[in-house]
Amino acid sequence: MASLLRTGIARNVRVVAKRNIVPGAVTRPALTSLVRFNSSEAPSSAKPAPTAEQLKRKEWLERQDDLRRDWDAKILTYEELLPITQSPTPDTYLIDVREPNEVMQGMIPSAVNIPLTVLADSLHMSPESFFTKHGFNKPKTHQRVIFYCRSGMRSTSASDVAKRNGYKDILNYKGSWLEWTEKQNAQKPSA
């Protein structure tokens, strides 16, 4: 049985080897005529300029690619956030994305509340509707927005929502409410 197998393999190898050994004269004319055919064609003109619709679609696709790329909002530490809360500026929004019943426990000073569950819809609102609903001005896409929640998960999602809505200066205080209260309580003198 083994000798039959060896004989069959040897025979197949010889046949394949004979097929691959082809005199160079046979292949050259075909290749030469192919080259001659291509070189005798008139050079084609450049592609026509893209239409406005094609340019708009290309720009839209590039923006979608930017959104799909892995990205992370810059993570802010407690030490970096503390001075921002002590001296707030109109160009920075500290946004608590916890639900209203969680906010009753307290908020970081200078923060405003927009629950994650309504954030996307709120960022689509007109500035007037936003102000009516939330009681403060809607952040502009060029302003700095800092998100926090209870433990850092929802603030990461909020950062993604903001990016998809055109915000560029996005920060995430990932330590969030739990770290804030822990560090604030550690600073208080014990009685």
The catalytic site residues sit at 149
Among 165, 138, 171, CA closest to 67: 165
Planar angle of CA 65, 138, 91, nearest 5 degrees: 85
The pair of structure tokens assigned to 73 is 């909002």
Alpha carbon of 116 to those of 109, 150, 154, 157: distances in Å?
19, 12, 7, 8
Phi, psi for 77 (deg, rounded to 5): -95, 170
Q: Give the integer Cα–Cα distance in Å for 129 and 136.
A: 10
DSSP letter assigned to residue 70 = -
Instruction: Transcribe 126-149 into DSSP letters.
Output: -HHHHHHHHSSPPPPTTSEEEEE-
DSSP letter assigned to residue 110 = T
